[in-house]
Chain A
Amino acid sequence: MGGQIAEAYRAHNKVSKQVAMKRAVEMLDLVGIPNPQRRANSYPHEFSGGMRQRAMIALGLVNNPKLLIADEPTTALDVTVQAQILDLVNDLQKEFGSAVILITHDLAVVAETADDILVMYAGRGVEKGSAKEVLAQPSHPYTYGLLQSLPSHSEDLEELKAIKGTPPSLLNLPSGCSFHPRCEFKTQVEGDACWTVLPEWRPTPGLSNREIRCHLTDPVATLQHDEGVR
């Protein structure tokens, strides 16, 4: 693992192998790997899941990047280890000042770590804004449906509020808004726009710092009304 990190360092810095290895050990230490000097000589498969993810973060940060992209960094990990890794990413971000793009399917992870959020559906963004605000008050039917379907949202209800249907194939996207076959609110849009016109990004009426791709005239009111009715 140390060799890999050292190599990545040497690709961008004219230093000797020894210096690069020293840097690799420092990085392993920084991400909380015990006995970094010794562990630098271990292979990735000799690490536990959590330690391997720490080592990957060390590899990602060794050249002081301005941007770190983490694709489902904790999905394969258990919750107690996930919590450690997310803490680590948060701490290192403060220390290094890198920006982080965290790609995840877990809305709760976003709620606890991200500043901003872009919600994607079938290859396109559908809602963006401050992470906390979006999750507290979604304004796109897909974001809303996802949040409603979480078990934590209907703890003592017999039935979860599921989104119907299945995600479309990217080879054969629905016409108009890709979400329309699964959207419960399309009938509240005048005409057949949802079936025929791909919605452009626009600010959500009534909310600041928020954009959606949806044809609803007043999505906030529509979704609030729905939540009240349920």
Chain B
Amino acid sequence: MSDKTLLKVTDLQRHFPFREVQGLKMVKATVKAVDGISFTVKEGQTLGLVGESGCGKSTTSRLVTRLDEPTGGTVEFEGRDITHLKEHELREIRRNVQMIFQDPYSSLNPRQTVGAILTTPLRVHGLHKGKEKARVQELLALVGLNPEHINRYPSEFSGGQRQRIGIARALAVEPKLIIADEPVSALDVSIQAQVMNLLAKLRNELDLAFIFVAHDLGVVRHFCDQVAVMYLGKIVEYGDKKKIYEAPEHPYTQALLSAAPDINVARGIAPKERIRLVGDVPSPIDPPSGCRFRTRCWKAQDICAQQEPPLVSATSEESTRTFREGGVHLQACHFPEVKTDLVAEVEHSA
């Protein structure tokens, strides 16, 4: 990982306006899908985005790839503000930032051969002119598919193989940053590890940066350097993987980690202490005031309804300031839980 910042997201917001029927009236309402989040991704870095469904992970992905336009905040790629660029101005971004989708079935055109699917991005960007076929075969080999299968249709491939095609399509234009939105969630368990290994291999060989979106905490822990935990359109905790998993400070992160069932129980390891949240995630149309987690939080006090807790370091002012450069542990709770021994360890090694 170099120190060069590729992507910088500041106070990113996406509100979806819509009309809904309330009683006999049509009223205007807003889904606050993403509501003010900031993070950076450096060259070669992998940032994990975790949280339960509806917290805004896919919307964030679509905003930073500029498949969708933010309603607030900024997105910068290599120092250039791309927040409101028009489609024809996005050419270079399309080349540098690519997306891998969750569903390998619906994200590929069933009427195009693999060859056609992979040639299109080359044509659009004028790459490998006259040698497109050779490049397509090289891409197929790169993702572990048979280059001879260039004339086959997506339906002739298994789910895992289709996801490989999706990966090849993303790689065709030699991007610097890949946003992978739940890339293995739809795959057979026995195939997930293969695809994860492929992504890891490509990341190393091609020096790619990743935003890796997943609800599976185990997969994120395996693959990512930093992790951002989202809840109802906000980042509630952000930091190095080790800190998030071993010393979570925000109650929601703690609950999320403790809710994940643990296979080690079978090996006689005592089950983790369980935090059981009550109820479901509230609607992003009318999120709770103050801290959005307060309706499910066992620590909530009056202040939690009145003031929104900012995303800050629980231990020192200094690290808050250096956040946008990365490498710290931030959380957004009025009553964070700080593991003092780990703080000492981290500060000692720093």
Contact = CB atoms under 8 A, between A and B. Distances in A.
Nearest to A78: B52
Contacts of B52: 78-81
Interface of B is mostly: helix
Given A49-B280, A80-B52, A160-B193, A106 B218 contact: no
Contact of B193 (A48, A79, A107, A163): A163
Interface string A110-146: 0111000000000000000001111110000000011
A131 B266 contact: yes
Interface residues of A, number: 46
A151 to B, nearest CB: 4
B208 to A, nearest CB: 15
A120 to B, nearest CB: 12
Nearest to B217: A79
A108 B260 contact: yes
B222 A135 contact: no
Interface string B224-248: 0000000000000000000000000
Interface stretch (B166-174, B268-276, B329-337): B268-276
B197 A159 contact: yes
B263 A107 contact: yes
Interface size class of B (residues with CB under 8 A): 35 or more
A115 B341 CA distance: 38
A198 interface: no
Contact of A112 (B191, B215, B222, B271): B271
Interface of A is mostly: helix
A150 B218 contact: yes
A83 interface: yes
Interface of B: 52-53, 158, 160-161, 188-194, 196-197, 200, 204, 215-219, 221-223, 255-256, 259-268, 271, 274, 276-278, 280-281
Interface of A: 48-51, 78-84, 86-87, 105-109, 111-113, 131-136, 145-147, 149-152, 154-155, 158-164, 166-167, 182
